[in-house]
Amino acid sequence: MFDSLSQRLARIVKTMRGEARLTETNTQEMLREIRIALLEADVALPVVRDFIAQVKEKALGQEVLQSLSPGQALVGIVHNALIDLIGGETAELDLASKPPAIILMAGLQGAGKTTTVGKIGKWLTENRRKKVLVVSCDVYRPAAIEQLRTVAGQAGVDFFPSQPDQKPTDIARAAVEWAKNHYHDVLIVDTAGRLGIDQAMMDEIRLLHDTLNPVETLFVVDAMQGQDAVNTAKAFSETLPLTGVVLTKLDGDSRGGAALSVKAITGKPIKFVGVGEKLTGLDVFHPDRMANRILGMGDIVALVEQAQANVDHEAAAELASKFKSGAGFDLNDFLAQISQMKKLGGLSSLMEKMPAEIQGKATAQDMDKAERDMRRMQGIIHAMTPAERHKPELIKAARKRRIATGAGVAVHEVNRLLNQFSQMQSVMKKMQKGGLAKMMRAMKG
């Protein structure tokens, strides 16, 4: 996601931090680089101009020039401007109305509307404990109604059936009645999408809007369409009172232009982003965290949340205490560590959220290799007996050969794993003696 923009900005940020003095020249140079980075990310020109003007005004202000580390202060300014640009505060769904709270979904065909209905339904059910009903008002494509039925089943939300010979407004009214009578908290209404914006589509969705009076009207756009996505959202927002935008397929968008300009061009906040085809591929959009990621500062909050959701806490606590004491850390624990890492989505997903300094120059190939190595290590440890895992020093030549055959690897790979493990053990012993802080200092120096 946003690879080249993020790399460029992270580089600029790094250079700026190192600047002891800010001059007209180095400030101009930095602004020029940011400008190029944004334009290359396909951000609309007027948006780029405003952004640069805003940063420039603040950068040349007294606060920065008089601060102890002007470079750092400047990074702060760019960071805040970026947060403002992509939306400021996180925009929550407004579900406070009398139930059912109605969410009307609009968007062009193929934008990801039906998938998003399922994703939001699942999210509301699991994260907000809401009882959700979904309905399709797409009477033009019978397959669309069936698609929603399937998606609803996968999402674990209730489905209100509709027929292609019904009028969309009749379907909508019937679904609201049903939701009221069956105590649903939220009703999500999927609508017909066209290939482009046309009058008939606009008229129909406006009529639906008037009939339903929804608390949320979300416009779904495909991030991979870049500036086109933003322009479509703008056209819609001029006819329909949108409350927010859902940007889908961000997982396939390597430039990020749409994510950066939607708010500025349409005035509507991005509420969710789609990050995968599966129904779990939905994130609440947090402008501050996104800005961190774009500037290469990492999304540590997301990492922690992910860890909280997926990690076996007892196992982690036990491991941590063994780590601290350095005692009894054996190959079983090593194995446990590898599988914890896997639960967090594997190395590459972890790395994506790390600050740029940590990501360093690790390429996709490096990551692939590291993941393959991890799988091989797992295989090797699995081929050991419990006694061997507990006491690796038992493993001499004959046992090494047996393990290698069992795991389908060469003997030298078993040796390598044992070496790595003993290095880790000795690091832990040092940590015990010298304390963690001392070691960190040594590593930095």
And the tokens for 254?
């390597």
Residue 361, annotated as binding a ligand: no
And the tokens for 64?
């920065």
Minimum CB distance to ligand GDP smaller for 349 or for 419: 349
Minimum CB distance to ligand GDP smaller for 194 or for 390: 194
Residue 111, annotated as binding a ligand: yes
* Tokens 């038992």 sit on residue: 394
Minimum Å gap between C-beta 1 and ligand GDP is 11
And the tokens for 387?
């006694």
- Give the separation between CA 291 and CA 307, rounded to whole angstroms: 21
Q: What CA–CA distances, in Å, run from 312 to 213, 335, 339, 392?
A: 44, 14, 10, 25
Q: Whose CA is closest to 176, among 130, 217, 135?
A: 135
Minimum Å gap between C-beta 3 and ligand GDP is 16
Minimum CB distance to ligand GDP smaller for 55 or for 175: 175
Phi, psi of 217 (to 5 degrees): -120, 110
Which parts of 74-113 interact with ligand GDP (CB under 6 A)? Answer: 107, 109-113
Minimum CB distance to ligand GDP smaller for 113 or for 209: 113
Minimum Å gap between C-beta 117 and ligand GDP is 8
Minimum CB distance to ligand GDP smaller for 16 or for 282: 282
Cis-peptide, bond into residue 100, ω within 30° of zero: yes
- What is the distance, to the nearest Å, from the Cα of residue 301 to the centroid of all Cα atoms in its chain? 11
CA atoms within 13 A on the CB side of 118: 23
- Give the separation between CA 317 and CA 333, rounded to whole angstroms: 12
Residue 244, annotated as binding a ligand: no
* 252 makes contact with ligand GDP (CB under 6 A): yes
Minimum Å gap between C-beta 85 and ligand GDP is 22
Minimum CB distance to ligand GDP smaller for 70 or for 281: 281
E strands, 275-423, where?
Answer: 282-284
Site string for ligand GDP, 112-151 (x = CB under 6 A): xxxx------------------------------------
Among 8, 79, 184, 249, binds ligand GDP (CB under 6 A): 249
Among 193, 269, 296, 298, binds ligand GDP (CB under 6 A): 193
For 263, the 3-state DSSP assignment is helix
Among 78, 188, 275, 297, binds ligand GDP (CB under 6 A): 275
- Give the separation between CA 434 and CA 440, rounded to whole angstroms: 10
Cβ atoms 10, 296 nearer than 8 A: yes
Minimum Å gap between C-beta 112 and ligand GDP is 3
Span of 124-132, 271-279, 287-295, 391-399 interacting with ligand GDP by CB under 6 A: 271-279
Site string for ligand GDP, 337-366 (x = CB under 6 A): ------------------------------
Residue 107, annotated as binding a ligand: yes
The residue with its CB nearest to ligand GDP is: 274
With CB under 6 A as the rule, give the number of residues binding ligand GDP: 18
Residue 378, annotated as binding a ligand: no
Residue 302, annotated as binding a ligand: no
Among 281, 287, 296, 298, binds ligand GDP (CB under 6 A): 281
Identity of the residue numbered 82: L
Strands 186-190 and 132-136: parallel
Minimum Å gap between C-beta 192 and ligand GDP is 9
Other beta carbons within 10 Å of 54: 16
- Three-state DSSP string of 374-416: HHHHHHHHHCCCHHHHHCHHHCCHHHHHHHHHHHCCCHHHHHH
Q: Whose CA is closest to 226, among 261, 194, 198?
A: 261
**Binding-site annotation: residue ranges:** 107-114, 190-194, 248-251
Residues lying near ligand GDP in the complex (CB under 6 A) are found at 107, 109-115, 193, 248-249, 251-252, 274-277, 281
**Binding-site annotation: residue ranges for GTP:** 107-114, 190-194, 248-251
